[in-house]
């Protein structure tokens, strides 16, 4: 079992860790804004292969990791953007005696389908309840409009004229 040290943003760690675990590799991650040389040296010492992402990573992390890998004669690779597939490909090239084959499990494929079905049924239930709620609101509004009779009787005494209003006379006085 090989250990891979990946120096990149911690947001990418979960995907990389999961993919490398399927291949049978251990994952070490490093992401600090102010790295210590000793921390990086110890992590490079534990790792069999070092992968460095030189985009949005502290410059000192990259330089310390390169120096430590060269000093310990560990293989390393520096790239800008990469995924788990690229790391696995690099491992196959660097360690040809190891077998890095993705071990897929049958239940993993069925989970997304089940989740999609659950999401669809939830969406259908939500849309039904929303439709029912809007129809209930409409019925309540229509039934409450009949109850405004006191307002209607109070407004009966007020007369509105349809005559044109002379605004000049109103503003002069």
**Position 71 confidence tier, pLDDT thresholds 50, 70, 90:** very high
Structural domains of the chain, ranges and CATH numbers in brackets: 3-94 (3.40.50.360)
Residue 7's closest CA among 85, 95, 75, 76? 76
Q: 84-94 and 13-23 are packed helices; what angle lies between their axes, rounded to 10 degrees?
A: 40
Please state the pTM of the whole predicted model. 0.55
Instruction: Please tell me the number of Cα atoms within 13 Å of 102 on its side-chain side.
Output: 13
The pLDDT, as a whole number, for residue 147 is 60
- Give the C-alpha separation, 90 to 169, whole Å: 89
Is the pLDDT reported for residue 144 higher than 80? no
């Amino acid at each position: 079992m090989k250990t891979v040290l990946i120096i990149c943003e911690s947001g990418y760690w979960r995907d990389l860790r999961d993919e490398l675990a399927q291949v049978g590799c251990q994952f070490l991650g490093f992401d600090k804004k102010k790295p210590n040389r000793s921390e990086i040296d110890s992590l490079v010492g534990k790792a069999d292969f070092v992968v460095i992402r030189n985009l949005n990573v502290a410059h000192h992390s990259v330089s310390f990791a390169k120096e430590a890998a060269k000093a310990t004669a560990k293989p390393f690779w520096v790239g800008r953007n990469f995924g788990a597939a690229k790391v696995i490909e690099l491992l196959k090239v660097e360690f040809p005696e190891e077998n890095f084959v993705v071990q897929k499990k049958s239940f993993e494929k069925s989970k997304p389908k089940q989740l999609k079905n659950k999401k669809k049924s939830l969406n259908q239930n939500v849309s039904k309840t929303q439709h029912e709620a809007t129809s209930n609101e409409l019925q309540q509004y229509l039934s409450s409009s009949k109850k405004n009779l006191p307002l209607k009787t109070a407004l009966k005494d007020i007369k509105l004229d349809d005559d044109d209003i002379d605004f000049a006379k109103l503003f002069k006085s």
